[in-house]
C-alpha cells in the first residue's frame, strides 16, 4: 500500500470535474509547483519553474501598470466632466456682477476649491463701490503686480498656469481666507489688446490639492474660456 495520503473521494471528484479551476487558481498552482520541487530534491534545478516565476513577476507588474492606467483615465475623465460643469455654470449669468458672484459660490463648489479670486491690474481707484461690493471675489492691483506675484520676484515670464503649495497665502488676494489656504492654482488671463492682464486664483485648504507635479491642460482650458468670457463683459 502507498504511504502517501490520498485525497478524499469528494475532493478528488471535484478536481476531476473542474480541472480548469485548479489551473486558474494562482495560489494553488504555486503550492503544486513547490510540492513538485520538493519531490525532485535539492540537486535538480527546475529551469522551467524559474522561467515561470519570472513571467509571473512580469505579469504582476503589467497588472499593476494596467490598474494605474485605468485609475488615471477615470481620474482624467472625472476632471474633464468637472471642468465642463464649471464652464456651463459660469456661462449662465446675464449680468457681470452675477457672473463674478457665481465664481465664489457655485463655480468654486463645482471645482471643489475653497476660494476663487479674480485679480485685475488697473490704474483705477481700488476704493470704488463696485470693487468693495465684490471684495470677496474681486481684487484690483497696480500694474506689474501679477508678474511679481507669479514669479515671486525672481524675474522671467510667468506661466499661463501656475500650481504651487503655500505656507503663507496672500491676504491681499484671499483676504481673511488666507489663513487656511495651503495650495493654489493661478490662471494668467489675457484680457485683450490694450488691457492690463488679469489672474484667476483658485485656493484650496488641502496642501496637496494643487502641486507643481500635476497636469495643467484642463485648468489651461478653463482659463482660456474664462478670459474670453471676461473680454465679452469688458466690451
Is residue 6 one of the residues assigned to a domain?
no
pLDDT at site 111: 93
Is residue 102 one of the residues assigned to a domain?
yes
CATH of the domain at 177: 3.30.450.40
pLDDT at site 47: 62
Asked whether 202 and 113 are in contact (CB, 8 A), the reply is yes
User: Which range of residues forms the domain containing residue 189?
Assistant: 93-233
> Which pLDDT tens digits describe the chain residue by residue (235 residues)?
445 556 677 877 777 787 777 777 777 777 776 776 666 665 655 666 667 777 777 887 888 887 877 776 777 788 889 999 999 999 898 888 888 888 888 999 999 999 999 999 987 655 555 555 666 788 888 999 999 999 987 878 899 999 999 999 999 999 999 999 999 999 999 998 888 999 999 999 999 999 999 889 999 999 999 999 998 888 7
pLDDT at site 162: 96
Q: Which three cell numbers stand for residue 112?
A: 471643489
pLDDT at site 149: 94
Is residue 65 one of the residues assigned to a domain?
no
Q: Which three cell numbers stand for residue 55?
A: 513571467
- DSSP state, residue 104: I
Is residue 173 one of the residues assigned to a domain?
yes
Strand pairing category for 183-189 and 198-204:
antiparallel
pLDDT at site 1: 43
pLDDT at site 206: 95
Is residue 49 one of the residues assigned to a domain?
no
Is residue 207 one of the residues assigned to a domain?
yes
**CB-side exposure of 174: number of CA atoms within 13 Å?**
25
Asked whether 159 and 150 are in contact (CB, 8 A), the reply is yes
Domains in the chain, number = 1
Is residue 32 one of the residues assigned to a domain?
no
Is residue 146 one of the residues assigned to a domain?
yes
Amino acid at each position: 500500500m502507498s504511504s502517501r495520503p490520498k485525497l478524499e473521494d469528494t475532493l478528488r471528484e471535484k478536481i476531476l470535474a473542474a480541472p480548469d479551476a485548479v489551473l486558474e487558481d494562482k495560489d494553488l498552482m504555486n503550492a503544486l509547483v513547490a510540492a513538485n520541487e520538493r519531490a525532485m530534491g535539492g540537486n535538480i534545478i527546475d529551469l522551467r519553474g524559474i522561467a515561470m516565476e519570472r513571467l509571473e513577476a512580469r505579469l504582476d507588474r503589467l497588472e499593476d501598470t494596467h490598474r494605474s492606467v485605468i485609475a488615471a483615465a477615470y481620474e482624467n475623465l472625472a476632471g474633464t466632466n468637472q471642468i465642463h460643469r464649471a464652464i456651463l455654470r459660469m456661462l449662465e449669468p446675464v449680468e457681470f456682477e452675477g457672473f463674478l458672484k457665481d465664481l465664489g459660490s457655485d463655480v468654486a463648489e463645482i471645482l471643489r476649491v475653497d476660494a476663487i479670486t479674480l485679480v485685475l491690474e488697473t490704474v483705477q481707484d481700488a476704493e470704488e463701490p463696485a470693487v468693495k461690493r465684490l471684495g470677496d471675489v474681486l481684487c484690483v492691483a497696480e500694474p506689474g503686480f501679477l508678474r511679481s506675484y507669479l514669479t515671486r520676484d525672481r524675474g522671467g515670464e510667468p506661466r499661463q498656469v501656475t500650481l504651487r503649495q503655500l505656507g503663507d497665502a496672500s491676504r491681499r488676494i484671499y483676504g481673511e481666507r488666507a489663513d487656511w489656504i495651503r495650495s493654489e492654482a493661478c490662471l494668467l488671463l489675457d484680457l485683450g489688446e490694450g488691457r492690463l492682464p488679469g489672474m484667476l486664483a483658485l485656493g484650496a485648504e488641502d496642501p496637496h490639492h494643487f502641486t507643481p507635479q500635476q497636469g495643467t491642460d484642463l485648468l489651461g482650458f478653463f482659463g482660456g474660456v474664462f478670459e474670453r468670457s471676461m473680454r465679452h463683459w469688458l466690451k
